[in-house]
Amino acid sequence: MIGVSAIARGAWSSFKLVQIRLRVPIALLAAAVVVGRWESIQNAWDSLGRRLTVESLQDRAVSNDTEYFCPMDPGVVSDWPSKCGVCNMALVRRKRGEAVALPSGVVARMQLSPARIQLANIQTTAASFQALSRIRETEGVVARVEGALAVVARVPARDRAWIVPGRSAQAWPLGSPGVSSSSAKVARVELSESGPRASLRIVAVFDLVPEWSREGVQARLVISAPLADLEPFRSLPENPPRLEVSEPRRVYVCPSHPESIGFEAGVCGLDGRERVPEPLGEFDRARYWCPMHPEVESTRPGVECKACGGMPLVPRVVVYRPPGRVLAVPRSALVEVDSEGRGVVYVESAPGMFDGVSVVVGPRCGDDYPVVSGLAPGARVATSGAFLLDAETRLNPGLASAYFGAGRNPREGAAQGSLVPASVDLKALALGKLAPADQALVRAQARCPVTGKDLGSMGVPIRMVADGKPVFLCCEGCRDAFQSKPGQYLTKPTVAKP
């Protein structure tokens, strides 16, 4: 035993001696191996880290095929319930890759990477109020009419709505460069040559007779009219009233139904989704109105419409325009403009994300189009590359659906981003959103018990329950009136006569 112990102690002493003598060379050798194989070691470490991270996310997610996104900012996507860092709205659950219906008024949606935006040279401009004028230029001849010198000319009959007596004009002699213009005023407008070749005979009398004016002289006549003085812009609200101290300065909007708003937090009456806050613009004012009788409006909450049997007025936002100005966008922003002035603009709703929004515009004025409806002041529209975005949604709709879905809202647009034809039955489309059983009940009831309007004429009917039976209302504005006095409305005949 003594010999074995002595051998063990000797071996241990030899090992310690070798360790002490060789520790520096061993350290240098290990450092050389690490330096020489550093890239391989780093790749192995990164691979292990990514695998552990993916496994951790899968463990924390509700389901491997479930994700959460923000309807207001669809670029915000998460694997677990959270809140949007942009609008602080609770994220909505959906299946991965699920097609998402677009909000009302949006006919297409496209998201592009920064590299593709730069490659396509897509640039945006804010929609703003401008002092636009309708201009018609024509040629005529100087003649004496009822003792006064005037320029007599002709213009197309389609201008009859805005070329009226009293309209201002400017006249120049043809073939005389450098001669200053002379002011004139339209004194008479006569329709002649009925049929396809119909035209207007214009008599513009000079305010002050210029030196060059004499009978028989050929003249160029330019007639202009401020667009703000013409319909439909003249009927739009003008000159925003002074803000009241208690007037709301933000509105709560449904992400899927922008027409469903409120001035207090709540849920959308169409889909039950929580409304999100949005600030009101400089020219926006909080008002209340009756959808059945638009002439009934108020600046105060709680007012009832007597014509509807006491239905409370519903909130809305009225956009006023500055005096003499109209909302306009550049000509390059419009695509698909038809003869009735309906077109599409692509609005940048989030960085790199563009929504095709249906708008109604007036006649082109130079390089701009006046906007009648469908667009808010300050919205950034694509002015360079708009046609490329439109072509992308048509040729490659799957690119949009890869992120948020390219589903089209049937009330606002059809597949491939085209507008709804005039022949589409919007009432049938509204009823088509209900369950088959509810559709049969709506057809049997036919009319709203509160307003007497046809169900479906104001959008998707609202389902209520009274005395254990389902009752449908035409719009959200009828809900409070029906709930306060259900017995009064249930006694009214609501079924349409054949």
pLDDT in tens, 212-261: 888 888 989 999 889 998 888 888 888 888 888 888 888 888 877 777 78
In Å, how far are 193, 327, 376 from 126, measured between CA atoms? 44, 10, 10
Q: What's the pLDDT tens digit per position in 270-300?
A: 667 788 888 888 888 888 888 777 788 888 8
Whole-angstrom distance, CA of residue 23 vs CA of residue 36: 20
pTM above 0.95, yes or no: no
Phi-psi region of 378 (alpha: psi -120 to 50; beta: other; left: phi over 0): left
Statement: residue 266 has pLDDT above 90? no
Q: What's the pLDDT tens digit per position in 21-71?
A: 777 777 788 888 888 888 778 777 766 665 555 444 444 445 666 777 776
Statement: residue 316 has pLDDT above 60? yes
Report helix, strand or coil for 342.
strand
pLDDT band at 330 (very low <50, low <70, confident <90, very high): very high
Give the pLDDT of residue 194: 64
Whole-angstrom distance, CA of residue 167 vs CA of residue 173: 20
Q: What's the pLDDT tens digit per position in 355-364?
A: 888 888 988 8
Give the pLDDT of residue 427: 64
Q: What's the pLDDT tens digit per position in 136-180?
A: 889 999 998 888 889 999 888 888 888 889 898 989 888 777 788
- For residues 343 and 10, the model is more confident at 343
* Interval 319-331 mean pLDDT: 91
Quote the mean pLDDT of the chain.
77
Q: Which long-range contacts does 275-280 make (Cβ < 8 Å, 24+ apart)?
A: 276/72, 276/87, 276/89, 276/252, 277/87, 277/250, 277/251, 277/252, 277/253, 278/250, 278/251, 278/252, 278/253, 279/249, 279/250, 280/248, 280/249, 280/250, 280/251, 280/317
Q: What's the pLDDT tens digit per position in 366-422?
A: 889 999 888 889 899 999 888 777 777 766 554 444 333 333 333 333 222 222 333
- Residues 6 or more apart in contact with residue 111 via CB below 8 angstroms: 74, 75, 352, 353, 354, 400, 403, 404
Whole-angstrom distance, CA of residue 360 vs CA of residue 496: 34
Q: What's the pLDDT tens digit per position in 69-104?
A: 776 666 677 777 777 776 676 777 777 655 566 677
- For residues 429 and 498, the model is more confident at 429
Give the pLDDT of residue 27: 79
